[in-house]
Structure 1
Amino acid sequence: MVALRAKLTGFSEDMVRWKDLVPGARRSHRGVREGKIAKPSKDNAGSTTTKKLKKLKLSVIRRNELMGLSGDGTASVQVFATECSKDMRTLEEKRNLLRLAKSFCDAYPYIPPNELAWRVKAEAEAKRKTDSSEMLATYMQSTNNQIDSLASMLTHHLPTLRTALPSGPISTTPTIVPMTVVGMSSDMDTQVHQKTPGMPELELPALVMAATVPEPQSAATSHNASLSLQSCESNRTYAVTLAHTQALMFTYNDIPDIPRLDRVWDDEPTPYQRHPVALRYWPDVYRNKNDQRWKGIKATWTEWKYVAEQYHASTPEEFWMEFSSSDGKRFNWKAITAHLRGQRAVHDQESCVKARNDYGAQFDTHFSNRGKVMTDKSAIARQYLVLKENQMDID
């Protein structure tokens, strides 16, 4: 810094060197010279007459004065002296600059890019470990506080629990809640469904298995009831919320089998607001509602519809003969729906082939929706069936 200050002081005291900072100054390789060397042009070499000067605008004259040109702009005047490109510094100035460069390199040594990246990564890792340690310590402190709170509550209420519980073991059998439809805002209307004897049980669908609630027990039998539920999975009580804020509570044994589904489909309707509505008419009840409740049960209802229609199409013996394995074991619900899904795919493919063969070039006209030709096989099959029914009515 001392050398730089001395250099700056010397430059400020020498006014001649200030001209070196002017942007228009030219630095020639021939050294310092004053003025300009003007060579006569070839056109004016043998001519002794002078060229008549043009009258220039004031703005042009002002520009020439600022740029160091003559008044008419024909000849350029070198205002400042130029210096050559060779090093004009003294030996002392060069040594001072070298000492400054050496001290700077010692203070800030060169760091390779790989080393710099490794240092940044190490700092980030150390910061992450510090933050993790602080978070772990906070979590452990919170856990210890919760444990202390629970221990104090248990110590406070333990004498009361000992006096409230009976001394001897209780062997009360837990009560199984039947399948019941309970209105949330009205009186409790109970409808008990008895299981058909001799019929196999299907696996509980995933939609129904989603919600579970514990059995209603008294305070004296809650402990034994929980043990019984753990040992007997079939006694667990489930709950499903239906339309109009109604809750359906049932056990696994209350799930209707295929024959029960057959009767519920058309013969034994489910009451809604004291009005019986069969399962097959649910689309008329649920569709086109603002709350879109039909969107949530449409897929499940469609599977029920296909199974019920297949069961209606033949006798129960023929139905189970089709939906049984080679060893005579009947399919579960998932296997039955998968088998029916495959049959529908084959039927839709056959209907598509028939539709294209029957209508030929007019296929795009009859099988289009909103100006677009149908590509879905199930949609083509439904449209083909509608056209065939209309043709039969006309005939």
Structure 2
Amino acid sequence: MTADSEVAAQDDVLVFPTKAGGTERLTCGGKTQNQLKAMCRDYGLPISGNKSVLKSRLQQFSEKFCNDPASCHLTPANRRKHKGPRDDTKKTKVKMSATRRAAIIDTERVTERSKDTRTAEEKKNLILWADRTVARLPFKPRKPKNTAVDTAVSTGSQVHRSADQHLHFRMQTIENQLAAISAVALGNHQPSSFNWDSATSVQVLPVDYMAYDYADNSLNLSEGPYMVGNLALDIPNTFTWLDGCQSPAGSYDPSATLADILPVDVPVSMTSVPAMATVPVPVPALASSIPNSQLQDTDKSGKAGKATTRTIILGDSTTITISTDEARKVALPATSFAEDIERLNQMWDDTSPHWRNNSVMRIGDHPIALIYWPQIFKKTGLWSAHKSNWTEWKFVVERYRQGTPEEFWATFKSEDGVKMPYTAICAKLRKDRKNTNEELAARAREEYGDDFEAKFSYRNSKTKARMVKFNASSIAKEYKRLQGID
């Protein structure tokens, strides 16, 4: 036992290390709990527990120091990992743009000096490499377009060039042959009208209707044979007509039959065919011959095109017709009726006694009631911006007109008798509509019973399957329609 341990065993005197590397003798007797905690804190010991626990902890530490002084030192512990001396600059956080670039390009960005640091030898070798490359791969100018082929297959600005020039040339040849057959069959008649020849039972189209538009794919000339009236035509590649609609045998003889005029390759069937059989004509060519008053705009799918104008009949029977572009340009100021619901009631429609011939929207000299907004703004791209406010206005006016203004405000007021703000009114109306729809939906299920799924269902446009309605508002709307409730 060392001398320090012998001293430590006397009268609660304990030996502790000092920060300077020496020793000190302290006693734990007569100290308060806070003083004992301070001693434990100085030696890096836990400070939890009562006085006896703290004394026991200090005694154990003192005995450990006496037996192995090297294990008990008071040097502060490293709070951070030691990095040592820095040879380079401190690295900063990489910018997000650089991180995204590295993720996309998957390579480190190499920043080069803007100054040319190449040696004279490197520059000379680069020039020699460029000379060898030019000699090995000389520049070859683009060949001029073959205007002869383009002219052969072109019939004006309406004809579109194709990659397969041979196909276009063949289609043009077949078109000329059909036009020549039509001209021969018509004889001396005017080419601007249809003709029915009872001798051959053939109805054909004049040459004016045979203009073929290559942009239209509805006529596939590669599929045959074709029917011209009751004639089955299978036109060979070598079949051509001479200028002036003459037959290959010579001049055209009006007294000759069609069978004598046509080549041997074209079979003639004399069976009876309805008189409406005609030459297959592309749709654009046929539509161009109909008067404009009988035409209807169509889109690429063949459906009727969207109307470019919209007509509104006002309350005084005034008719206003505007185009879609004009509807997009209608001046409409920022509108809010949150502070004046009576003004909203006066501008809503022009067929009620509330109308004051005034509105936030005007077309020309005519004030336009708010009720006409869907007819004006739908299908213009602007309706979505007004739909929400307009719907709220509709329900507010509908409730406002169910009684007098006094009755309305008696319903929509707070507990202290103050009028509700506009937002609170709209929220209460939405809640009332929701309750009403749920009541009508429950009544519909109860009244229709087993027939509910048949009455309240719809066909899914994608899957074509029958789907039962589950939304309360949709069920209530259908129930009102079936019951005749407004």
TM-score by length of 1: 0.36
**Structure (1/2) with the larger helix percentage:** 1
TM-score by length of 2: 0.30
